[in-house]
Amino acid sequence: MSETLRLETQGITKTYGHLHALNDTSFDLRVGEVHALLGHNGAGKSTLVKILSGVVHPDSGTVRIDGEEVYPRNPRHAQDLGVALVDQELSLVSVLTVEENLRLGSRRVVSSEELRTLLDTLGLEHVKLTTLTGSLPIGEQQLVEIARALSRDAKILILDEPTATLSEPEIERVFAAVRRLAAQGKSVIYVSHRLGEVLTLCQRATVFRDGKVVGTKDVADLDRAGIVEMMLGHLPDFRTGSEKRTPENPQRISIQGLSIPPRVPAFDLEVQGGVIVALAGQVGCGASEVLRALAGLVPNARGTVNLNETKLPLGSAVKALAAGVFFAPSDRKEEGLFLSHSIVNNLVATRLPRVSRGGFIQKSRQNAVVMKLLGLTGIAPERRDLDVGVLSGGNQQKVLVARGINQPRSKMLLFDEPARGVDVGGRADIHDLIRGAAEQGNVVIFHSTDLDEVFDLADVIVTMFGGRVVSVRSRAEATPAAVLTDMTHGAEGISA
Amino acid sequence: MSVVEDVLPSRFSISGMDARRKITLLVTILFFAILIFATVTTTGFYSVQNFKAIITAAAIVGIIAVGMTYIVISGNLFSLSVGITAAVSASTFIWALRFGLVGAIIIAVVFGAVVIGLQGLLIGFTGANPIIVTIAAGALQEAVAIWITGGVSVYPPENSPSFAFLVSPLFGIPFPVYVFVVAVVLGEVFIKRSRFGRGIYLMGESPRAGRTAGLPITRLTTGAFVVAGVCAAVAGILIGAFNQSGTMTASRTLTIDAISAVLVGGTAVIGGRGSVVRTAIGAIVIATISDLLLLRGYSTPVQLLVLGVIVTVVVILSYLNSERAGRS
């Protein structure tokens, strides 16, 4: 990395109505640097990314690339200027081949040999140009997406949450590719919520808060607490050990020989309420399936599950809910929430019997329940009638989690990736909601692929790999290295 | 500053609601434009007699459409056999008059509820395509009905109880209109206020999310179809009473008329949104248009043509709106 500036922005301001999305922001990016943009959802980093990639136009301020003042008019123009954006969501066409995707929408004439070399430099030596893109694992698709950005001859590569949906080995491959690109003199802007990744991968980090740059620092001078302090403006209460919860009447669950074809042969677990259990593992480790089976969503699941000595019926979500089991799926948009329904309707969707009388919804009961939950989640009561679909990701996730808590008849709460795609502050709120549920004596089991989350929330860490339990440790005796090793089961190339 | 993220999209969504309101507005403007046009040009439109004709015509279709609204909001598209069920219910009612008037009504209603409810059970339990299931069920009903009756009309038994009041005016307004009003009020209150109705709306928006939230999908789907069955049977009873006989040809366009009423009312085909009151307005709009064309001497094909054009326009408009909402 040299000290030469590749990109420099000065005094960028962008307002939406009376809201400052960006307020007099200055930022610079060096040649060969991986530079993290950090901040809450809505802190301003996405707006800066959109301005650089020509999606949004600033009200004022200047952008210089290699010393020359430029004004990205639209994404195509930004591409010509050497700026390429790899969005959080994959934009590949799955029914086209890798080569067709690489060429899609490109203005440059690139030979197949060049594309081949490009894939090789990204560690995709084994992927043929003629392979159908949809048949590749998600992580490799993400790399193809990066290859596409690079094939436009980008000098500046913007990666927006590139690892959100990837497993640890896949993340490692993206990292290796990013490091190689930086070594070749490309500049990378790396937007992420995952502080661990930033500390591992980036040289400098710029933190945004409320539309302003809080500061830019060398990552070597930063640690997790330091970054979080910059993001939040205060030091949060980081829990270092699990505190003892001693609920009065804890629930008990005993799972024996739970089999979920084809992924999970046999799963056993005994837990008492008040303890938060993490099923830690990569995508595809089987933890998701275990939670779904317990929630009655897998018809062919078999095994013995006893909730307080009562057999829990498998294969019916209706019966599971009636037995006091609540489940929050990982895909809140497709499977979790009713996006064009109000916050109110979403919050009471799992407790319609409780707010009804004689088959009719009682407004007063509904209000009481909703006000209580809004109080717990910190969502302003006057927003209760807004459609959930217009809320930020963090608030959507809060609604989804809140749907399951504070039910008098609840016994077991299951969360699949409870803070997926949520910023640090939102994550802390969601974790507090889950801790509250455990304090009430519920059995709480969650699945996460994210070590930070596992260590922040769990009292007991169960690692899973390939459908089997690898280890069970208490929070006190677990170390991130050991857990990560078990999660990846000896897979190579892990550096965390 | 999550305010930025939260406030911006909500503004988009308000424009989304505006779009939906625009449809209602459009339907209303269209309706009044036709009314004004009719005042000026069509002789005999503004007469008590004609209004009665419109509202009576709207009533039968409207009652069926109330039930259809439940199916559409539940996210199960349409039933393509409610018209046939109404016709078979009419024959059932006429035949069952031998058990007395109340008995005949109960038998016909139970018949409609069971026949259409079973289709809902099948769809809810297996996730089968509602269009295919209801087409098959329609063919089955028609075949069985013709087999039993030998293809001839069913007439009331001798010494049958009097049922003429079912289609006679009461305080100057035909009885079916009262039935229509009651069906709309009950239908609207039930779907908006009941636990079952709330479940129907949620499931219609997203069956996957509904399942995960523990909503009883099979029960809700069956329930929506049972409501449609009861409505079809009630309409069938009125049709039977009006014709004083039961015949399969009584109801050819009823299904498409009912679907048109739901769509013109602005209830979304994709489910999760809409209302029974909107459907009632749709039914009246369609009846008015048919009446106008009839008064002006246009033939049935022209009436069908106009209906087809209107429904197509509404479908395109609502598609455009959902696209726009989806993109934002």
Q: What is the H or E stretch that residue B169 is in? A: strand B169-170
Residues in chain A within 8 Å Cβ distance of B1: 19, 40, 42-44, 209-211
Regarding predicted confidence, which is higher, B18 or B14? Answer: B18
Point out the least confidently predicted range of A128-132, A378-382, B64-68. Answer: A378-382
Residue B253: pLDDT above 60? yes
Please determine, for residue B146, whether its predicted confidence score (pLDDT) is greater than 80: yes
Give which of B31, B53, B289 is closest to B177, Cα–Cα. B53
**B209 to A395: CB separation less than 8 angstroms, yes or no:** no
Nearest to A457 by CA among A465, A466, A448: A448
Taking the Cβ of residue B253 and every Cβ of chain A, the question of whether any pair is shorter than 8 Å is answered with: no
- The radius of gyration of chain A's CA atoms, rounded to the nearest angstrom, is 24
Q: Which of A42, A335, A389 sits opposite B5 (nearest CB)?
A: A42
Contact check, Cβ <8 Å, B272/A340: yes
Q: How far is CA B158 from the centre of its chain?
A: 34
Helix (H) or strand (E) holding A9: strand A5-16
Residues A280 and A292 sit within 8 Å (Cβ to Cβ): no
User: What is the model's pLDDT at position A40?
Assistant: 66
In contact, A343 and A384? CB cutoff 8 Å: yes
Residue B300 — very low, low, confident or very high, per pLDDT cuts 50/70/90? confident
Q: Would the pLDDT of B87 be above 90? A: yes
Which residues partner with A278 through β-bridges? A446, A461
| CA quadruple B15, B20, B22, B23: dihedral, nearest 10 | 160
- Find how far residue B241's CA is from the centre of its chain: 20
For residues B33-42, average pLDDT: 75
Tokens of B118: 């079973």
**Residue B166 or residue B87, greater confidence:** B87
Q: Determine what percent of chain A is predicted with pLDDT higher than 70.
A: 92
A 362-401 residues with CB < 8 A to B: 383, 386-387, 389-395
* Cα gap A412→B192, rounded to integer Å: 31
| CA pair distance A193, A161, nearest whole angstrom | 7
Instruction: State chain A's mean pLDDT as an integer.
Output: 85
Across the range A394-414, mean pLDDT stands at 88
What's the burial of B117, exposed, middle or buried (CB within 10 Å: 0-12/13-18/19+)? buried
Tell me whether residues B199 and A340 touch, CB distance under 8 A: no
For residue B101, give both structure tokens: 């008037």
- B186 touching chain A per CB within 8 A: no
Radius of gyration of chain B (CA): 21
- Across the interface, whether the CB atoms of B215 and A297 are under 8 A apart is answered no
Report CB contact under 8 Å: A321, B214: yes
Q: Is a pLDDT exceeding 90 seen at residue B226? A: yes
Position B12 pLDDT exceeds 60:
no
Partner B contacted by A338 (CB < 8 A):
yes
Around Cβ B235, how many Cβ atoms within 10 Å?
A: 34
Nearest CA in chain B to A231: B1
Residues 220-279 of A with CB under 8 A from B: none
Interface probe, candidates B3, B6, B11, B270, chain A, greatest A C-beta count within 10 A: B6
pLDDT for B3 beyond 90? no
B10 touching A (Cβ < 8 Å): yes
**DSSP 3-state assignment of A305?**
strand
Distance to chain B for A288, nearest Cα, Å: 14
- Kindly determine whether residue B8 and residue A16, on different chains, have CB atoms separated by under 8 Å: yes
Q: Give the per-residue pLDDT at B327.
A: 38
Q: Among the residues of B244-275, which ranges form H helices?
A: 254-265
B327 touches chain A (CB under 8 A): no
**Residue A237 above 50 pLDDT?**
no
B32 touches chain A (CB under 8 A): no
**Statement: residue A383 has pLDDT above 60:** yes
Contacts for A246 with CB less than 8 Å, ≥ 6 apart: A274
Which of B193, B208, B216 has the CB atom closest to A360's CB atom?
Answer: B193
Q: Which pLDDT belongs to residue B45?
A: 80
CA A412 to chain B, closest CA, distance in angstroms equals 14
Yes or no, beta carbons of A353 and B2 under 8 Å apart:
no
- Shortest Cα–Cα distance, A484 to chain B (Å): 30
Q: Which domains does chain B possess?
A: 45-321 (1.10.3470)
Measured between CA atoms, the residue of chain B closest to residue A21 is B4
Paired tokens of A124 = 């995709």
More confident residue, A424 or A25: A25
Residue B209 near chain A (CB below 8 Å): yes
- Thinking of the domain A5-232, which architecture would CATH place it in? 3-Layer(aba) Sandwich (3.40)
**Overall residue count recorded for chain B in this entry:** 328
Q: Which of A337, A340, A344, A365 has the most B C-beta neighbours within 10 Å, making it the best mutation to test the interface with B?
A: A340
Query: What is the pLDDT confidence band of residue B72, given thresholds at 50, 70 and 90?
Result: very high
Distance from CA of B193 to the nearest CA of A (A): 6
Average pLDDT for A223-233: 74
Would an 8 Å CB–CB cutoff place B20 in contact with chain A?
Answer: no
Amino acid, single-letter form, for residue B143: A
Query: Which pLDDT score, from 0 to 100, does residue A209 have?
Result: 83
Interface contacts (A, B; CB < 8 Å): 115
Rounded to whole angstroms, the Cα distance separating B235 from A274 reads: 57
3-state secondary structure of A449: coil
Q: Percent of chain B having pLDDT more than 90?
A: 47
Give the whole-angstrom CA distance, residue A452 versus residue A195.
9
CB atoms within 10 A of CB A368: 12
Enter the tokens of residue A429.
């709120």
In b/e form, how buried is each residue of A202-236, taking b as 16+ CB within 10 angstroms?
Answer: bbbbbbbbbbbbbeebebeebeeebbbbbbbeeee
Average pLDDT value for chain B: 84
Q: Where in chain A is the domain with CATH 3.40.50.300?
A: 5-232, 255-488
Calculate the alpha carbon distances from A471 to A462, A463, A484 in Å.
6, 5, 11
Residue B271: what pLDDT? 85
How much is the ipTM here?
Answer: 0.82
- Mean pLDDT value across residues A141-147: 86
Give the model's confidence band at A245: pLDDT under 50 very low, under 70 low, under 90 confident, else very high.
Answer: confident
Bridge-based pairing state of the strands A460-465 and A468-474: antiparallel
- The answer to whether residue B328 neighbours chain A at the CB level (below 8 Å) is no
Tens-place pLDDT, residues A36-89: 998 765 678 888 998 999 988 999 999 999 999 999 998 889 988 999 988 766
DSSP H or E segment with residue A83: strand A83-86
* Average pLDDT over every residue of A114-120: 88
Find which of A360, A377, A422 to mutate to test the B interface (most B CBs within 10 Å of its CB): A360
Question: A239-258 burial string, b = 16+ CB within 10 Å, else e?
Answer: eeebeebeeeebbbbbbeeb
* Residues in a beta bridge with A415: A328, A446
Q: Do B195 and A353 touch (CB under 8 A)?
A: yes
For residue A129, give every residue at least 6 positions away whose Cβ sits within 8 Å of its Cβ, in sequence order, or none.
A97, A98, A99, A102, A112, A115, A116, A119
**Could you tell me the strand order of the sheet in which A187-191 lies?**
A83-86, A156-160, A187-191, A34-38, A204-209, A212-218
Helix (H, G, I), strand (E, B) or coil at B229: helix
Q: Is the dihedral of CA A255, A257, A261, A262 positive or negative?
A: positive
**Cβ–Cβ below 8 Å for B215 and A349:** yes
**Does the structure show a pLDDT above 60 at A495?**
no
CB A149 within 8 A of CB A160: no
- Fold that domain A255-488 belongs to in CATH: Rossmann fold (3.40.50)
Is the predicted pLDDT of residue A168 greater than 80, yes or no? no
Could you tell me which chain B residue has the CA closest to the CA of A331? B209
Model pTM above 0.80: no
Report the DSSP beta bridge partners of residue A190: A36, A159
Q: Do B198 and A352 touch (CB under 8 A)?
A: yes
- Asked if residue A277 lies in contact with residue A271, where contact means CB atoms within 8 angstroms, the answer is yes
Contact of A21 with chain B, judged by CB distance below 8 Å, is answered with yes
In chain B, the residue whose alpha carbon lies closest to the alpha carbon of A323 is B214
B274-297 pLDDT, tens digit each = 999 999 999 998 888 888 888 888
